[in-house]
Chains A and B, each alone.
Chain A
Amino acid sequence: MNAPINAPINILGRLLRSPAGVAGLALLALLALAALSAPLLFPGDPLAIAGAPLTPPFTDPAFPLGTDRLGRNVLAGLFHGAQASLAVGLAAAAVSIVAGALVGTIAGFAGGLADEALMRVVDAFQTVPGFLLALAFVSVAGASLPVVILAIALGAWTGPARLARAEVLSIRERDYVAAARVIGMHPAEIALREVLPNALPPVLALAAVIVGNAVLIESALSFLGLGDPNIVTWGSMIAEGRNVLRSAPFLSIVPGIGLVVTVLGVYLLAEGLSDALASRKARP
């Protein structure tokens, strides 16, 4: 048995040995770089009208990827859109992992009625497709970035909750948990300090999948006009470009490529992570 605390480091090491993981990490690093450099390379509002409308790509050096129907710089939109997509993806994943892990740990550790009640709530959320839930939530609460993040987390926290509970159920029977009980630790302290950290690694592996989903849901919401209209997102760029799909397809294709790269990177990383986790399990 590995020492539980070292597990994350070992997983990272194995991840770097898997080609999928490395490719995923590289793609995401590229995106993170684009997102972080956006305010430096393209200061000001990316929605500002910068030039002649519908400039095709590769014709004007000032607008390498052209401009949209109102004359906004597509390249600036792409970079700032990366920011929005990654921010939403990471924030939604963080919210749903924290909420899910807490609920799962409490349910698994407390057992009995609390477990039953919490898991039925999870069931209730899982019966509604995540996207519909987000759609309904945003149309009621109004479109802004925090609401969108919450809406996506609302449909995504159940996965981590179930996984955390399953892990906790096995961990709580371990000797070191029994030892903690014997020395008189408070159950809440045992749950949060002894059990939760050890249940976390497999839950974190789920994070990558959640990020990928969150990016897609956010884009879909923006595409339907339910995103925050005051920031540029890839989904809203595609929606905007759809009106001129026949005459200026690049307006939809460019942000589409951004989406593909992000989701591909995230899934490759998830693939690498699950390989790394599997090999941990394989070696007793």
Chain B
Amino acid sequence: MNTISLSRRTLIRGSALLLASTALPPVAFGQSGGRLVVAADSEPRNLNPAIVASNGVFFIASKVIEPLAEASFDGEGGLAPRLAIAWEGSDDGLSATFKLREGVKWHDGQPFTSADVAFSALQVWKPLQNLGRLVFANLEAVDTPDDHTAVFRFARPTPFQLVRNALPVVSSVVAKHIYEGEADIAASTANLVGTGPFRFAEHRPGEYYRLERNPDYWGEGEPKLDEIIFRVLPDRAAAAGALEAGEIQLAAFSQVPLTDLDRISKVPGIEVYSKGYEALTYQLAVEINHRRAELANVKVRQAIAHAIDRDFVVRTIFLGYAETATGIVPKNAPEFYNGDVPAYPFDVDKANALLDEAGYPRQDGGTRFRLRLLPAPYFTETRQFGDYLRQALAAVGIDATVVNNDAAAHQKAVYTDHEFDLAVAPTVFRGDPAISTTILVRSGTPAGVPFSNQGGYENKDIDALIDKAGETVDTKQRTELYKQLQVLVAQDLPIINVADWGFITVASSQVKNVSNNPRWAVSNWADTELES
């Protein structure tokens, strides 16, 4: 038979190619490498990863600006060298020495030296970066005995375990010669100049970011790609269609909705990866405003924990792509995880009994008290869990009113104005409890800091334990303290953890070396290849 079959898919693919050929600058054929087109669901305003250490920024900027070390599945201590090739902490916790890679050049041709590291640490990470503020709080000076050695000096003992675990996230090195003399580095409009495998080429708002190959990259034979295009596709539902039509080759961070995975995994030429997010575990947690008299009662908090069916949440909202949580440290952080903590299995009768005991009997209508519930708007899953939690609370006689806000209004309501009773938050575990986890239960964080204890919770034992761990240099002792912390938190429930989830990457099977490290989506992609 010799008929021309024009299926919908070929039609879509054809028009997509036509569109792509006009929308994007042409690339010469015949070169090795090729162009990788990736879906991006947001357009961060500040793309400097040294200042904004968040996954939305790393997703694009980590290819341009590199950290001292990157997370690794098989590297020593879970790390692979990047701009540093060796690191060591002193026994007293007062200094840490980094040997830096030689022969590295910035994208503008200047050599990379220890002065850049010292500048980044003292002028950017410590004073300006959201996470570096905590990790480098006691950083006093950075000595540079030679061009390729940087010695961090701390005023008070800083556990090297923390520094090491934080390296992939907090240590993005920026060039001293670019920012030196700028009055306000955070507001700088200087171009993104790094040492990474790709150079920042252009950003067309609403359309795409373009990164191009850095021919002088230090990695032998890397990068493999000529170009990476981050196509702005804010509509999550569109990513699956774009992948199937061949308009994009990769969608990370669960841009393809979980509900589509089952179907798309059967499409030939498309692979689904659930690996590659181990070092950036998201946690579905219920934040509690302890200023409410009812919620200040631990029995009420325990009742709420018993009212939540964690298996239902994992099965129905996450479609199995998550794990039930037992506390503030996720299971896939084996270095710190402690499963031997009080558990709160799903038990409506027990929850009702606890609420009766707490002194909140059901009134005439069967309602004990009313609450405001603010689900974070960032993920479909957090919003859906908000809907679920409202129903779960109704079953034990708590009438929750869901208040939906946009991202800015949500941050203000919960973290600045404290106008919430319960909030659903996607908190992140970043390899060490001291980076972004203890802040969720430690008292004394000023209002306005997102994803921190803004519920007015104060527990002297927990505070003391966190402070002690913060200065314990011995790795084993420090780990033990965090295991104790998990027990205290599970007993007193300042925050209720429901599930831990990683994301899903969906890619064309032409893309090779996907998900080969625990922070793959936010790593440098130097070894990512396109097979033709």
Contact yes or no, A229 B263, CB < 8 A: no
Sample (13) of A-B pairs whose CB atoms are under 8 Å apart: A47-B391, A48-B394, A49-B388, A70-B387, A70-B388, A143-B403, A225-B383, A226-B404, A243-B257, A244-B257, A246-B240, A246-B259, A246-B263
Least Cβ–Cβ distance between B422 and chain A, in angstroms = 14
Minimum C-beta distance from A142 to chain B (A): 7
**Chain A 136-167 against B: per-residue CB contact (8 Å), 1 yes, 0 no?**
00010011000000000000000000000000
A229 with B259, Cβ < 8 A, contacts A69-B384, A242-B237 known:
no
Q: Are A247 and B388 in contact (CB under 8 A)?
A: no
Look across to chain A and name the residue whose beta carbon is closest to the beta carbon of B260.
A246
Q: B384 and A229: CB pair below 8 A?
A: no
| Least CB distance, B231 to chain A, in whole angstroms | 21
Q: In the complex, which residues of chain B have a beta carbon less than 8 angstroms from the beta carbon of A139?
A: 406, 409
Q: Is B510 an interface residue (CB 8 A)?
A: no
Known A49-B391, A142-B403, A225-B377; 11 more pairs at CB < 8 Å: A45-B391, A47-B390, A48-B394, A70-B317, A142-B405, A230-B402, A242-B237, A243-B237, A243-B257, A246-B259, A246-B263
A244 touches B259 (CB 8 A): yes
Contact A48 B391 (CB under 8 A): yes
- A148: min CB distance to chain B, Å: 12
B220 within 8 A of A: no
Which listed residue (B259, B401, B402) contacts A247, Cβ 8 A?
B259
B297 close to A (CB within 8 Å): no
Task: Please report the C-alpha to C-alpha distance between residue A53 and residue B259 in the assembled complex, in whole angstroms.
Answer: 12
Cβ-based interface call for B130 (8 A): no
* Alpha-carbon distance A229/B383, docked complex (angstroms): 10
A260 interface residue (CB < 8 Å to B):
no
Is B316 part of the contact surface with A, judged by Cβ < 8 Å?
A: yes
The answer to whether A229 and B402 have CB atoms under 8 Å apart is: yes
Taking a contact as CB atoms under 8 Å apart, the answer to whether A143 and B404 are in contact is yes
Whole-angstrom distance between the Cβ of B489 and the nearest chain A Cβ:
28
Evaluate contact between A230 and B394: CB separation under 8 angstroms.
no
Docked complex Cα distance between A143 and B404 (Å): 7
Q: Which of A53, A225, A230 contacts B316 (CB 8 A)?
A: A53
Docked complex: A25-54 residues within 8 A CB-CB of B: 45, 47-49, 53
A139 and B410 CA atoms in complex are apart in Å by 12
The answer to whether B260 and A247 have CB atoms under 8 Å apart is yes
Query: How far is it, in angstroms, between the C-alpha of A71 and the C-alpha of B312 when the chains are bound?
Result: 11
- What 0/1 pattern do residues 387 to 427 of B give for CB contact below 8 A with A? 11011001000000111111001000000000000000000
9 A-B pairs closest in CB distance: A229-B402, A244-B259, A229-B404, A53-B316, A49-B391, A230-B402, A243-B257, A230-B401, A48-B391
What is the CB-to-nearest-CB distance from B43 to chain A, in angstroms, rounded to a whole number?
A: 19
Q: Please name all residues of chain B whose beta carbon is closer than 8 Å to the beta carbon of A246 when the two chains form the complex.
A: 240, 259-260, 263
B259: which of A69, A225, A230 is its contact (CB, 8 Å)? A69
Which residues of B (258-272) have their CB < 8 Å from a CB of A?
Answer: 259-260, 262-263
| Chain A residues within an 8 Å CB radius of B406 | 139
Give the most central of A71, A226, A243: most B CB within 10 Å: A243
CA A70 to CA B317, docked complex, whole Å: 7
What is the 8 Å Cβ interface bit string for chain A, positions 207-238, against chain B (1 contact, 0 not)? 00000000000000000011001100000000
Residue B144 at the chain A interface, CB threshold 8 Å: no
The smallest beta-carbon distance between A132 and chain B, in angstroms, is 16
Residues of A within 8 A of B259 (CB): 69, 243-244, 246-247
**A245 an interface residue at 8 Å Cβ cutoff?**
yes
* Residue B380, interface by CB 8 Å: yes
Give the docked Cα–Cα distance between A284 and B260 (Å).
64
Known contacts A47-B390, A246-B260, A247-B262; A70/B384 CB under 8 A = yes
With both beta carbons as reference points, the residue of chain A lying nearest to B383 in the complex is identified as: A225
CB-CB under 8 A from A49, the residues of chain B are: 388, 391
Q: How far is the CB of B414 from chain A (nearest CB, A)?
A: 14
- Using CB atoms, name the residue of chain A closest to B262: A247
A71–B257 touching, CB < 8 Å: no
Out of A47, A142, A244, name the residue touching B387 (CB < 8 Å): A47
The answer to whether A245 and B237 touch across the interface, beta carbons within 8 angstroms, is yes
Number of interface residues of A (CB under 8 A): 21
CB pair A247 B387 closer than 8 Å: no
- Asked if A69 and B390 make an inter-chain contact with CB atoms under 8 angstroms apart, the answer reads no
Contacts of B352-399 to chain A: CB distance below 8 A: 377, 380, 383-384, 386-388, 390-391, 394
Contacts of A45 in B (CB 8 A): 391, 394
Q: Is the CB of B384 within 8 A of A225?
A: no
* Chain B residue with the shortest CB-CB distance to A227: B404
Return chain A residues, CB-CB under 8 Å to B402. 229-230
List the B side residues contacting A71 at CB < 8 Å.
316
- Write the B96-122 contact mask toward A (1 if CB under 8 angstroms, else 0): 000000000000000000000000000
Enumerate chain A residues within 8 angstroms of B387, measured Cβ to Cβ. 47, 70, 229
Q: How far is the CB of A140 from chain B (nearest CB, A)?
A: 9
Q: Cβ of A69: which chain B residues have Cβ within 8 Å of it?
A: 259, 316-317, 384
| Contact in complex: A225, B263 (CB < 8 Å) | no
Q: How far is the CA of A53 from the CA of B320 in the complex (A)?
A: 13
- CB contacts (< 8 Å) of A245 on chain B: these are 237
Residues of A near B316 (CB, < 8 A) are 53, 69-71
Residues in chain B near residue A143, CB distance under 8 A: 403-404
Query: CB-nearest residue of chain A relative to B377?
Result: A225
Q: A247 with B391: in contact, given A70-B384, A142-B403, A242-B237 (CB under 8 Å)?
A: no
Q: Mark A70-90, 1 if CB is under 8 A from B, else 0.
A: 110000000000000000000
A156: min CB distance to chain B, Å: 24
Minimum C-beta distance from A34 to chain B (A): 23
A243 to B405, CA, bound (A): 19
A229 surroundings in chain B (CB, below 8 A): 386-387, 402-404
Q: Nearest Cβ in chain B — how far from A84, in angstroms?
A: 15
Complex: A246 Cα to B257 Cα, angstroms: 11
Which positions 313-337 of chain B face chain A at CB distance < 8 Å? 316-317
Within B198-245, the residues touching A (CB, 8 Å) are: 237, 240
CB distance from B267 to the nearest CB of A (A): 11
**Contact across chains for B391 and A243 when beta carbons are under 8 A apart:** no
Which residue of chain A has the shortest Cβ distance to B385 in the bound complex? A70
Which residues of A have CB within 8 Å of B409?
Answer: 139
Contact string against B for A residues 160-202, beta-carbon threshold 8 Å, 1 for contact and 0 otherwise: 0000000000000000000000000000000000000000000
**A71 CA to B313 CA, complexed, in Å:** 12
Give the distance to chain B from A141, nearest Cβ to Cβ, in Å. Answer: 11
Most chain A CB neighbours (cut-off 10 Å) among B391, B402, B409: B391
Identify the closest chain A residue to B375 (Cβ).
A229
What is the bound-complex CA distance between A243 and B238, given in angstroms? Answer: 10
A245 to B406, CA, bound (A): 24
A45's nearest neighbour on chain B, judged by CB, is B394
CB neighbours (8 Å) of A53 from chain B are: 316
Between A45, A53, A139, A229, the greatest number of chain B beta carbons within 10 A of the residue's beta carbon is seen for A229
Residues on B with C-beta less than 8 A from A225 are 377, 383, 404
Taken together as a complex, chains A and B put the C-alpha atoms of A53 and B314 apart, in Å, by 13
A246 to B264, CA, bound (A): 10
How far is B384's CA from A53's CA once the two chains are assembled, in angstroms? Answer: 13
Q: How far is the CA of A45 from the CA of B366 in the complex (A)?
A: 14
Chain A residues in 8 Å Cβ range of B257: 243-244
- Chain A residues near B383 (CB, 8 Å)? 225
Expressed in whole angstroms, the minimum distance between the Cβ of B380 and any Cβ of chain A is 6
